[in-house]
Structure 1
Amino acid sequence: MDTKQLKLMTLEEAVSRIEDGMVLGIGTGSTIELLVPGIGKLVNDKGYKLTGVCTSKRTESQATALNIPVIHVNDATHIDLAIDGADEIDPQLNLIKGGGAALFREKVIDEMAEQFVVLADETKIVDYLGQTFKLPVEVDCFNWRLVMRHIEGYIKGEVSLRMADEQPLITDNGNYILDVHLTEKVDPYEFHEFLIHLTGVLETGYFLDLATEAIVGTQLGVKILQR
């Protein structure tokens, strides 16, 4: 099975976690794009009263088109369940996220959620964070080069500005993304603390101690990981 088929395996399990009346945090990325129609069916076919809080403009547009009620995060007093993808998952269910450039809004919503369920295919399971995927860091456009130099002076690896159509990618928050390619293992807690205290850094792609469950599509079936 290819990665899309593995992702599709996780959707039924994810939808089964959704209960009528929930406020849902709805993530961003290729896996969630496959999930949102399933949420729409709960609303339109089964009459579920659901409210979505979306992590990106792209997800909000998709949800709205499927008649899923959506509110802004500032209007949400709580989130029952957040569902999102991940770029890497370590044995402790710590994550790297941000491949879809929505890491700040994702973290705001995932931190609010009582339960945070991650959907992934088995290629996203790693021994340690940074093993296969670059760490995204959302930074202000004003001093991104200064931030890049600080990071390059701290770690062994390469830092690049994420581009889109030959221009710097702009996040929904109007910022840039720096992608940090780590060439050796680092402590994610220490590296996050270093990064988050740099002036100009909005957020990092480390999602530490947040996920409560991972639903993973494998060649042998769906695997459930819990923290």
Structure 2
Amino acid sequence: MTTAADPVIVMKQEVGKAAANRVQSDSIVGLGTGSTTAYAIEYIGERLSQGELSNIVGVPTSFQAEVLAKKYGIPLTTLDAIDHIDVAIDGADEVDPQKNLIKGGGAAHTREKVVDALANEFIVVVDSGKLTDKLGSTFLLPVEVIPMAMTPAINALAKLGGKPELRMGIKKAGPVVTDQGNLVVDVKFDSIDNPAELEKAINNIPGVLENGLFVGVADIVLIGEIIDGKPTVREM
């Protein structure tokens, strides 16, 4: 390669690699969604092909994760066939100092929450730009809603103090449709003071499948940063 590698891409690769290095043989691994997690999936596949790891099966959280796992030679299983997940690796759109997360920028948060919450250890991979003192300060909160409930759900979200907006497709006419065939409402809250309470309140709205607040689920947060032009990884 003649051009200098983009430090941001190298940093994401390093964070993905650091997470992949924590995976041990004979384990069931939750495979998350997103650009940084994609590198973790790639490196798990690399460790498998080099014989560093053996007897790994993956549980994908999205169609994207499934495609990548197949590409990098990671055997897949389903939640029907297993009784636990040893470790899950996934990204986040925001992380607060208590390791609470907002996820769902890729509209896969429902499946991610199912898999990540089952894991004995949930490793979050992010760059330092995703760190925030308070959730909701920079990222909208994604809520997955079944299509017939769209209008009442939007009204209920507004009553909770949010500004809801249906997520529209990019390079696609019409709204974003999740892997489950539902729609995503992105909600702006001026301040999420109690993420655990808000998570429950939103999930109690009829027709809401799941929202992007992940409270008390993350065990380890690996943060990629560029310091003096060099990519580094630290643990929160």
- Taking structure 1 as the reference length, the TM-score comes to 0.94
Q: Tell me, in whole angstroms, the C-alpha distance in 2 between the residues paired with 1:112 and 1:185.
A: 25
Partner of 1:162: 167
Partner of 1:20: 25
Sequence identity (%): 37
Provide the alpha-carbon RMSD of the alignment.
1.4
- For 1:1-227, what aligned pairs fall within 5 Å after superposition? 3-46=8-51, 48-155=54-161, 157-164=162-169, 165-220=172-227, 221-225=232-236
Amino acid of the residue matched to residue 86 of structure 2? Answer: D
SS of equivalent to 2:132 = coil
Partner of 2:3: none
- Taking structure 2 as the reference length, the TM-score comes to 0.91
Greater shift in the superposed pair: 12-21 or 195-204: 12-21
Question: Which deviations, in whole Å up to 9, do the C-alpha atoms of 1:79-126 show, x marking residues without a partner?
Answer: 000000000000000000011111111011011100000000000000
How many pairs are equivalent? 224
Gaps of 5+ in 1: none
Greater shift in the superposed pair: 124-133 or 29-38: 29-38
Residue 65 of structure 1, CA deviation? 2.2
Q: Tell me, in whole angstroms, the C-alpha distance in 2 between the residues paired with 1:16 and 1:2.
A: 21
Residue 37 of structure 1, CA deviation? 1.3
Residue 2 of structure 1, CA deviation? 5.2
Gaps of 5+ in 2: 1-5
Amino acid of the residue matched to residue 152 of structure 1? Answer: A
SS of equivalent to 1:219 = strand
Amino acid of the residue matched to residue 194 of structure 1? Answer: A
Residue 6 of structure 1, CA deviation? 2.8
Contact 2:8 2:226 in 1 (8 A): no
Q: Tell me, in whole angstroms, the C-alpha distance in 1 between the residues paired with 2:28 and 2:34.
A: 20
Residue 186 of structure 1, CA deviation? 3.2
